[in-house]
Structure 1
Amino acid sequence: MNFELTDEQKQLRDMAHKFALNEIRPVAAECDREGKMPMEVFQKAFELGLMTEFIPEEYGGLGLGSLDTCIISEELAWGCSGISTSMAATGLALTPILIAGTDEQKKKFVQPFAEELKFASFCLTEPGAGSDASAIKTTAKREGDYYILNGRKCFITNGSYASQYTVFAMTDKSLGHRGISCFVVPRDLEGVSAGKKEDKLGQRASDTADVIFEDVKVPAENLLWNEGDGFKIAMMTLDRTRPSVAASAVGVARAAYEYALEYSKERVQFGTPIAMNQAINFMLADMLIGIETARLITWKAAWMADQGMRNTVEASIAKAYAGDLVMKITTDAVQIFGGYGYMKDYPVEKLMRDAKIFQIYEGTNQIQRLVIAKEILVRK
Structure 2
Amino acid sequence: MPVERILPTADAADLIELTREIAARELTPHVDEAERTATPPRDTFRTLGRAGLLSLPYPEEFGGGAQPYEVCLQVIEELAIAWMSVAIGVSVHSLTAYPVDRFGTDDQRAALLPDILGGETLGGYCLSEREAGSDIASMRTRAAVADDGSATLSGTKSWISHAAHADYYTTFARTDDTGGKGISCFVVPADAEGLGFGAPERKMGLAADPVAEVHFDKVMVAPDRMIGERGQGMQIALAALDAGRLGIAAAATGLAQSALDLAASYASQRRQFGQPIGSFEGLAFLIADMEAAVTSARATYLHAARLKDAGRAFSKQAAVAKLVATDAAMRVTTDAVQVLGGAGYTQDFPAERFLREAKVTQIFEGTNQIQRLVISRHVLRELTEGKGSAR
1:305 is aligned to: 308
Offset of residue 43 of structure 1? 2.2
- Does residue 322 of structure 1 match 2:328? no
- Matched residue type, 1:63: A
Aligned partners of 1:343 and 1:219: how far apart in 2? 51
Aligned partners of 1:264 and 1:279: how far apart in 2? 11
2:389 is aligned to: none
Offset of residue 116 of structure 1? 4.4
Q: Percent identity, aligned pairs only?
A: 36
Q: Deviations over 1:284-320 (max 9, x none)?
A: 0011111111111111111111111110000000001
Q: Residues 257 and 287 of structure 1 are in contact (CA less than 8 Å); yes or no, is this contact kept in structure 2? A: yes
Offset of residue 113 of structure 1? 2.5
Q: Deviations over 1:308-339 (max 9, x none)?
A: 11100000000010000000000000000001
Aligned partners of 1:180 and 1:38: how far apart in 2? 33
- Give runs of aligned pairs for residues 167-246 of structure 1, distance below 5 A: 167-173=171-177, 175-246=178-249
- Matched residue type, 2:312: M
- Does residue 266 of structure 1 match 2:269? yes
Q: Deviations over 1:24-60 (max 9, x none)?
A: 1110001110001123322221221111222310101
Instruction: Quickly say closer, same or farther: Cα 1:271–1:376, change in 2 above 3 A.
Output: same
Out of 350, 354, 357, the position equivalent to 1:354 is 357
Q: Residues 52 and 119 of structure 2 are in contact (CA less than 8 Å); yes or no, is this contact kept in structure 1? A: no
- Does residue 154 of structure 1 match 2:174? no
Aligned partners of 1:351 and 1:117: how far apart in 2? 29
**Which consecutive residues of structure 2, in runs of 5 or more, have no partner in the other structure?**
387-391
1:335 is aligned to: 338
Q: Residues 99 and 237 of structure 1 are in contact (CA less than 8 Å); yes or no, is this contact kept in structure 2? A: no
Runs of 4+ with deviation above 4 angstroms: none
**SS of the residue 1:200 aligns to:** coil
Q: Deviations over 1:224-277 (max 9, x none)?
A: 221211111011111122212111111000000000001001111222211011
C-alpha RMSD over aligned residues: 1.3
- Normalising by structure 2, what TM-score? 0.94
Offset of residue 7 of structure 1? 2.1
- Matched residue type, 2:115: P
Aligned partners of 1:250 and 1:274: how far apart in 2? 25
Q: Residues 127 and 157 of structure 2 are in contact (CA less than 8 Å); yes or no, is this contact kept in structure 1? A: yes
Count, aligned residues: 377
- Normalising by structure 1, what TM-score? 0.96
Q: Residues 100 and 225 of structure 1 are in contact (CA less than 8 Å); yes or no, is this contact kept in structure 2? A: yes
- Does residue 66 of structure 1 match 2:52? no
**Which consecutive residues of structure 1, in runs of 5 or more, have no partner in the other structure?**
none
1:280 is aligned to: 283
Aligned partners of 1:192 and 1:41: how far apart in 2? 25
1:29 is aligned to: 32
2:16 is aligned to: 13
Aligned partners of 2:134 and 2:108: how far apart in 1? 29
Aligned partners of 2:257 and 2:115: how far apart in 1? 34
Q: Residues 166 and 184 of structure 1 are in contact (CA less than 8 Å); yes or no, is this contact kept in structure 2? A: yes
Aligned partners of 2:54 and 2:272: how far apart in 1? 45
Offset of residue 195 of structure 1? 2.0
